[in-house]
Structure formats: structure tokens, C-alpha cells
Amino acid sequence: MSPTLKSELPIIAIVLLPFIYLACIWNNLPAEVPIHWNIDGEIDGYANKAMLITIPILLPLLVYVIFLVIPKIDPKNRLNQMGGKLQNIKVLLTIFMSALALFIIYSSKNQSLTNPNYPILGIGILFSIIGNYFKTIKPNYFFGIRTPWTLESENVWKETHKIAGKMWLAGGIIVVLASLILEKRTNVTVFLIITGIITLIPVIYSYVKFSKEKNLI
């Protein structure tokens, strides 16, 4: 089902929130604002406040536009076959990116990163939500575990996404719990390890599964 203006208005409103917030605080911002923080949450980079405009453009707006475009250029039209599930993923990712943009702009305004664990906690929640949707994603060139082996075999795609879905769900829960109980530097380390595991293992699994299916090993 193609999106209509009426159905897209709530998502467009979410995309616009960081732009509206930035416009409201613009005159109160100093000429130079922090745009980068180190692992301890300390400011280590400043730029002209005009740079803040790129944050909502590159986060919620870009993600929203990508999700509008890719179903139209999907050569096998598999994404459109996902129906409401693709729309749900679009909404969730847009909300996350909009919230992240608001957090960054707010932190720049206050010249303080409230808690570096907050964005990581949000990513953990996102991992879990996406993991829950993995098993429903149809083979496509834009979203999911896209390796030469999953794209070559629909069965490998299906089995890989079953495994990946469980791993992303569990990994996301671990990231959320770590963000709530661990010190920020330790939490960043845990986050990077978990991200590496849930990213690499499904790729390796897809290769092994494909090789067994084709009697290559």
C-alpha cells in the first residue's frame, strides 16, 4: 500500500520536531556550540551553531526519505510485500532518529552531555525491536542481513534472519541492562562487543548455511 499524505502526517510531525526545537532555541545559542564529546562525556569539539542544522537533516529526515524511496526502487518489490511491518519499522526508526537529534541539540544547548549511557540505552531498545521484526523481512537489497549468500538463497535469508532476530533481541536487552547498571566507559566497551557479535555472527552463519546448502563444505 502506497503511503498517503494523511497516513504520513504523524511521521512528518515527528521528523519536524528537532527542526522546531532548534528554531525555538536558535537565538539563545552561542555562536560556537559543542558538537562532539569523548567517551567520558566531556566536550572535545566545537563548531559554528549552523552545524546543528545538519543533525535533524542527517538523522530523522534522511531516514524518513530513504524509507519513502527504497520501496519504489526495490527491483523485486519485496519490501512492499511486508505491508504494515515496513511502515512500523519506518515509524520506529524515525522516532529513534528524531529523539537522538533532540538529545544532541539539547546537549549542545546546555553544553553538557547529560549521560552518555542514554543514547546507548536507546540503541539497545532499537536492537531489540528490529530483532523482533527480522524474521518477517522479505529478501531485499536494502534492509536486513544482506550478504551474497542470503541474497542468493531465500532459505539462507530466512534461516539467517531467524538466528539474527534472536541475537539482536537478546543483544539489545543486554545493552539496555548494561546502560542501566554499568559505568559509562565500561558500558561503551560492552556495547561495542555486543554490536560486533550480533553483526558478525549472522554474516558468518549465512556463509556456512549457504555452503552446506550448495555442498561446498
Beta carbons within 8 Å of 137's beta carbon, 6+ residues apart:
82, 85, 143, 144, 161
Contact call for residues 22 and 50 (beta carbons, < 8 A) = no
At residue 135, the 3 state secondary structure works out as coil
In the prediction, which pLDDT does 93 show? 94
For 128-151, write each residue's pLDDT tens digit: 999 999 988 889 888 899 999 999
- pLDDT reading at 216 higher than 60: yes
Using 50, 70 and 90 to split pLDDT, how confident is the model at 2?
Answer: low
The one-letter amino acid at 87: Q
What does residue 3 show for φ and ψ, rounded to 5 degrees? -65, 145
How does pLDDT run across 24-68, given as a tens digit for each residue? 999 999 889 988 887 777 778 888 999 999 999 999 999 999 999
**What pLDDT does residue 186 have?**
93
> What pLDDT is recorded for position 1?
54
Residue-range domain boundaries for the chain? 1-114, 115-217
